[in-house]
Amino acid sequence: MCVRGAVGPEHLALAREAIDANLADPSPRVKRASAGDDGAFVEDFCNWQRLPAMRRFIESSGVAAIAAALMGSRTVRLYHDHVLVKEPGTRQRTPWHQDQPYYNVDGRQNVSMWLPVDPVPRHSTLEFVAGSHRGEWFMPRTFLDDQAKWFPEGTLAELPDVDGRPGDFDILGWQLEPGDAVFFHMLTLHAAGGVPGPHRRRVLSVRFLGDDVTHAPRPWTTSPPFDGLVEELPAGAPMDHPLFPILWSTAAS
């Protein structure tokens, strides 16, 4: 779902401040997801506890209330923040994938928000295969070298060839202005274009968990990792932990 004007000027400025602060002081989890001299696609995760602007945006912008309505959930927990920046000249596409297979959670009540602080033309935006969140889990792979570093080879279905057979799929995507946001289920197949030329694409993504989500420890390092969580939160337990604070509830609304 595309929500036009989801965030007003004050909170858009906070999101921009949070992204720029993250770029100036990245965490140990930072990744470069582009190869060679093809611009720079930079990702970082889980910085809300150390970056005040990030925390203020997450807690006060109102996006958790939108997430509650979309999930049909009585509570909304923060899962994590995710900064995604494609600098000018980053031609590399983000390949088709689902998010949930990379994670350590099970459950249907979840939603991700993707908020750009720069204008995003249609050819550079996030695209989705409509209805794919109702289907099966697909094999998660590394973006640069297509390696199965999570579920073992053969245990999940391989991704369909969306780029090779685009006419077989209902593909959605929107040109976005700063303050617009896209919300999507963590099992939705999605991809994104590059940013050729002088354009820059700074995005703050926030992931939310609803009532039915539970901890699903994995025998591998998830993306993002939550080191030591398995000792504090048993498998199948609700995500009741300080790392995942409640941002919205029917009792408080």
**How does pLDDT run across 51-85, given as a tens digit for each residue?**
999 999 999 999 999 999 999 999 999 999 999 99
Domain count, the chain: 1
Q: Which residue shows structure tokens 């203020």?
A: 56
- Which of 196 and 186 is assigned the larger pLDDT? 186
* pLDDT above 60: residue 37: no
pLDDT in tens, 115-128: 999 999 999 999 99
Span 154-161, mean pLDDT?
92
pLDDT in tens, 77-91: 999 999 999 999 888
Share of the chain above pLDDT 90, in %: 86
Confidence of residue 196 (pLDDT cuts 50, 70, 90): confident
In a domain, 116, yes or no: yes
Distance CA 109, CA 74 (A): 10
| pLDDT for the residue 114 | 98
In a domain, 161, yes or no: yes
- Which of 131 and 252 is assigned the larger pLDDT? 131
In a domain, 82, yes or no: yes
In a domain, 79, yes or no: yes
Amino acid at 209: L
| pLDDT for the residue 252 | 73
Average pLDDT, the chain: 94
DSSP code of residue 44: E
Domain housing 176: 2-212
In a domain, 238, yes or no: no
pTM: 0.94
Least confident of 52-61, 91-100, 166-175, 200-209: 91-100
In a domain, 168, yes or no: yes
Residue 96 belongs to a domain with what CATH number?
A: 2.60.120.620
Q: Which residue shows structure tokens 């077989």?
A: 168
Contact in structure between 210 and 73 (CB atoms under 8 Å): yes
| pLDDT for the residue 212 | 98
In a domain, 240, yes or no: no
| pLDDT for the residue 2 | 98
Helical segments of 25-156, H only:
52-60, 63-71
Share of the chain above pLDDT 70, in %: 97
In a domain, 129, yes or no: yes
Distance CA 165, CA 78 (A): 36
Ramachandran quadrant class, 43 (left: phi over 0; alpha: psi -120 to 50; beta: rest) = beta
| pLDDT for the residue 146 | 81
| pLDDT for the residue 39 | 64
Confidence of residue 35 (pLDDT cuts 50, 70, 90): low
Distance CA 15, CA 142 (A): 27
* pLDDT above 60: residue 175: yes
Measured N-to-C along each axis, helices 52-60 and 9-24 cross at an angle, to the nearest 10 degrees, of: 150
| pLDDT for the residue 92 | 83
Distance CA 45, CA 38 (A): 22
User: Phi, psi at residue 209, to the nearest 5°?
Assistant: -120, 140
Distance CA 42, CA 48 (A): 17
